[in-house]
Chains A and B, each alone.
Chain A
Amino acid sequence: MTWVLVAVLAVPAVGAVFRSRAVAAGAAAIAFLLSVALATGRSDGGLTGPIRPWHQLDVSWVPGLNLRFHLGVDGISYPLVVLTTLLTLLCCVYLLWTDGDGTLAALLLVIEVGIVGVFLALDLVLFFVFFEIVLLPMYAVIAGWGGAGRRPAARKFVLYTLFGSVLLLVGVFVVVSRAGTADLVVLSAQHMLPADTQLAAFILLSIAFAVKSPLWPLHTWLPDAHTEAPTVGSVILAGVLLKMGTYGLLRVAVGVLPDGARRVAPVLGVLAVTAILVGGLVCLAQTELKRLIAYSSVGHMGFVLLGIATLTATGFEAALIGNVAHGIITGLLFFLAGAIKDRTHTGDLSELGGLRETAPYLSGILGYAAIASLGLPGLAGFWGEAFAVIAALRRGGPLWTVLAVLAALGGALAAAYFLRLLYRVTHGAARPAVVGIGEPVPGELVAWAPLVVLALAVGLVPALVLGVAQTAVQVMAP
């Protein structure tokens, strides 16, 4: 199966060369099927550490620097890999059907290579390399195909995340030079760094990942980037790019530096809950459709980070399913916001209104996505948020109890702002902007339907995500 690990990276990389929508869709489809196939033949290979890849590939890469090309997949990375290949496939299909640009599709494939690489890398330096591969194509996607304010937004995105990357680089080299190895499997199993080094490295790495996730107060690149990016760019940004941050925090920062994590966790928890509340409140006062969804991501990722910050198996599982659910639901929301903005040429909530009068099906799907995103039990968003709260309560003590209560209140806030969104966009009399707009076309439906189905399926059967992850999470929880 090791060839699949390479193929899942190579196929999109080769597909990108052709700069054609059809080739891109084909390559994305193959990559998706390959990534799904990674779940076959699972075994822990006799490993006993916290990372027990089902399949791995470990070859020397730059012998002089002792760098290795080490890839592997386990229960924590697998759901995110599949989510990435799925969302890329849906975006490529969407571009194919809606007369998108071939170069844009090719850039999506390059981004896919980077993100999947991040999830598969088991070598810290390789992880860093993949982490950086994503940056420039995403810059190009925003700057080339975005909205009116695309250039400043793209610049802010690239500079802000580069700032994070510098810290990541420093953190990576602190760890690698002190430990003498960059192998994540070894690093997470042996914890050979002294406590103070761990603390320093953890702070560096967690700031870097906090920029990507994003964690309040390092989030302000996100609303601009999401708002100005083209539809497929927003979907990939919110759907999977942010997950590189939370995945890195869990796998690298917490996995390699557990002592550092224990000392910083309360700070992370406080910031995560602040993100939940600030994100919710800003959404309640927000007047632009895509900005609102972008800020809701800040809140949702706050729940994921809270789950990680609890450092419990419950919290890790909540974070994992929260990641996947957010990818599915917010991906769908950005598809819908894009569809609405393309049709009405405005995202201003005061100009929208009465969508259910003129486009009942579009309005119905938007309602479904909003309800899923506010964390309704029975849909995918519920598990991550509810169990992040439960994990915080499980930690006990005054701090974590207060954090749990505030996070739960943030859940109620999500209901308020999403229903306000629906109230402004779908209800009431039809405003001029929505009169005469069309219902979803087949290409859109094909791209949305899998996300609609998955939001319900993961909601009803969370084991779809957590079933494969359980062992991996439980062996890594300190």
Chain B
Amino acid sequence: MNGVLAGALPAVPLLVALVGLLLPLRARRTAAALGIAGAAVALADAVALAARVKSPTTGGWRLVDFGGGLVVHVSYLLTPAAAVVAVAVGTVALAVQVYSVSYLHDDGRYPPYAAQVSLFTAAMLLVVVSGDLILLLVGWEVMGICSYLLIGHDRTLPEAPAAAVKAFVVTRLGDVGFLLGIALLALAGHSFDVATAGARPATIPALLLLAGVAGKSAQFPLHTWLPDAMAGPTPISALIHAATMVAAGVYVVARLYGVFTPVALAVLGVIAAVTMLLGALAATAQLDIKRVLAWSTVSQVAYMAGGLAVGVPAAALFHLLTHAAFKALLFLAAGAVIHAVGSNLMTRMGGLRAAMPVTFWSMTVGLGALAGLPPLSGFFSKDQILAGAWGAVRHAGPAPRWVAVVVLLAGLATVAVTGWYATRLWLRVFFGPLLGAAHDPPALMGWPIILLAVPSALLGLVVQFAGTFPGLDWLSIGALLLAVAGGAGAWRLWRRGADAVPAVLANAFYLDDVQDALVVRPTLALASAVRRADESLVDGAVEGTGGGALGLGALVARWHRAALPRAATAVLGGALLIGIAAIVLVGLR
């Protein structure tokens, strides 16, 4: 039974997606109904699994044999963590499908959109339940291509296509490492089995896997695609940022945790520390509401990566779940604001508190959870990661102690910065003078927001009281004070009518330009040079051979064009030469 449920988890949305892709472009209602039904079945399936799975179970069948023990299976590996993450994926997917019906009400190409969202869901669920590394890679990359398709969906935005290409190419670059890492794991263990391969510590494969993880989870230095991905429709941002794509990297590290040696975890910890501060600082200086949220995702996913690095994968997954709830909520609510105001820019927003009460209160819950205010969910999950880091500082975790110190310090600093930018967004959107008429979104957009507010508010409390994690201590209070201090700073600045947007932060330390100068432009220049060389040297040699043969032929032909006297002389001379040669040869013998 578990096998059927596990198989149906990705299979149902996949089938829905394939049918949806074949629908005519006008079949809006059918497409919407299909998409919602697919997500709902997946969610119900995930809930059933979460209730049933108490210990790891596995099963499957052989797909293809590549010789040398390299057998690919279609198999599942169900763990309680997998089931819970699947629930989060299903919930966000369902919310996005319902919300999109209203958000994209005037979109002329709804069926492929809804189908691609279903395919995205299927791919993430495949990553979640897969028991085979190759199968995991399939889901992993299909997610990438879905993000490409969906980010480029809006045909009116000139920047959308380039952002879509960037998202896929950057993550694909990381996936080069991911593929090599999987290959090395499989070759060492003679198996693509996740449970087998994931239990064998190996530094080089782990580092290679981290390249793919950094790409998918938008970690430094492969984070640059995520802010640009805001060109996608807002529900897609919710999908990518909350429960799929960026969460996949963290999830996979947790699933293959046994592979990660202290060296690999140290690298992960440093990446996480850099990324969390980088993302949070960049978020403070954005004017586009979605870009604030995008940078906050970069920063929050880095918390999860930090938790993994200091040896508390359970806390990282806890934060993954709470973040999934509050980030999906924040994006969908931001979509409601954008829908009402008609712009992404916070300079065009303000005073929406009274006009959009539902959105205001939901977003307040989301931002509070993000900033880590008790009793909202983010407070508990973030504190578990900080507590884990502190524990690793005192008792030494799997990674070296200095890594835990770095993660802890970066984490605490990020708490303050997070408080700052969350407050800034809250004040700029909902307080101050009202700039124009606005109203709460229609029901199909409103209900997903309200329903997501429930786990955003309560999930932390529930998990904490379930007793899975240790209680709170002075560190929580310190972190809370830092968050409040950050918020107060933003409030003081806002009250003076000022806003701090230093160019270096607004441009996220110019890392896009660095990437452009170090990777993109050299590659393109190399490509032009190779093309020229291929055409003029390699093909030139071929054409030259042809031309040379023709020229030689013409030359020889010219020699043969002679008047009778010279021709006769030549023939007689030739005969004489042959005669002499014959005599000499015969004579010699």
- State the A residues within 8 Å of B (CB): 156, 159-160, 216-217, 219-221, 278, 281-282, 284-286, 312-314, 316-318, 356-357, 360, 364, 367, 371, 376-378, 382-383, 386-387, 389-390, 393-394, 404-405, 408-409, 411-412, 415-416, 419-420, 423, 427-428, 461-463, 466-467, 470, 473-474, 477
Name the B residues within 8 Å of A378 (CB-CB). Answer: 138, 141-142
Flag if B546 contacts A159 (CB, 8 Å): yes
Residue numbers in B under 8 Å from A312 (CB-CB): 67-68
Interface string of B58-84 (1 = CB under 8 A from A): 000001111110101000000000000
> Are B155 and A278 closer than 8 Å at their CB atoms?
no
Contact A466–B176 (Cβ < 8 Å): no
Report chain A residues within 8 Å CB of B524: 284-285
Taking the complex as formed, is B534 at the interface, i.e. its CB lies under 8 A from any CB of chain A?
yes
Cα–Cα, bound, A314→B162 (Å): 37
Chain B's closest residue to A465 (CB) is B64
CB of B137 within 8 A of chain A?
yes
Contact of A314 among B67, B179, B530 (CB under 8 A): B67
In order of increasing CB-CB distance, the 9 nearest A-B pairs are A313-B67, A427-B161, A284-B527, A220-B539, A377-B138, A285-B527, A285-B531, A281-B530, A281-B527
Residues of B within 8 A of A (CB): 25, 63-68, 70, 72, 109, 112, 134, 137-138, 140-142, 145, 148-149, 152, 155, 158, 160-162, 164-165, 168-169, 172-173, 175-176, 179-180, 183-184, 186-187, 523-524, 526-528, 530-531, 534, 538-539, 542, 546
**A404 near B534: Cβ-Cβ < 8 Å:** no
- CB-contact partner of A393 in B145, B168, B180, B523, under 8 A: B180
The 20 listed contacts between A and B (C-beta, < 8 Å) are A220-B539, A281-B526, A312-B67, A313-B66, A313-B67, A314-B67, A318-B66, A377-B138, A386-B134, A390-B183, A393-B180, A404-B183, A412-B173, A419-B164, A419-B165, A419-B168, A423-B162, A462-B72, A467-B64, A474-B67
| B152: chain A residues within 8 A (beta carbon) | 427
Contacting residues, chain A, for B148 (C-beta < 8 A): 419
With A318-B66, A419-B148, A423-B161 known, 17 other A-B pairs at CB within 8 A are: A282-B530, A285-B531, A286-B531, A357-B155, A376-B141, A378-B138, A382-B138, A386-B137, A386-B183, A389-B180, A393-B187, A408-B176, A409-B176, A411-B176, A416-B523, A423-B165, A466-B64
- B546: chain A residues at CB < 8 Å are 156, 159
Looking at the complex, which one of A278, A420, A470 makes contact with B534 (CB distance below 8 Å)? A278
B179 A408 Cβ-Cβ under 8 A: yes
Complex contact B141–A419 (CB within 8 A) = no
Contact A412 B172 (CB under 8 A): yes
Residues in chain B near residue A316, CB distance under 8 A? 67
Q: Which of A409, A467, A473 contacts B67 (CB 8 A)?
A: A473
**Inter-chain contact A394/B165, CB cutoff 8 Å:** no
Q: Are A377 and B65 in contact (CB under 8 A)?
A: no
Residue from B161, B180, B528, B538 within 8 A of A285 (CB atoms): B528
User: Which residues from chain A contact B134 at a C-beta distance below 8 Å?
Assistant: 377, 386
On chain B, the residues within 8 Å of A394 by CB distance are: 68, 70, 187
CA distance A415 to B168 in the complex (A): 8
Q: Is the CB of A285 within 8 A of B67?
A: no
Q: Does the CB pair B180–A408 fall under 8 Å?
A: yes
Q: Which residues of B contact A216 (CB under 8 A)?
A: 538
CA distance A297 to B534 in the complex (A): 15
Q: A282, B531: Cβ atoms under 8 Å?
A: yes
Instruction: Please determine whether A376 and B66 come into contact, CB atoms closer than 8 angstroms.
Output: no
Report the Cα distance A473→B64, complex, angstroms: 13
**Which chain A positions have C-beta within 8 A of B158?**
428
Q: Is A278's CB under 8 angstroms from B161's CB?
A: no
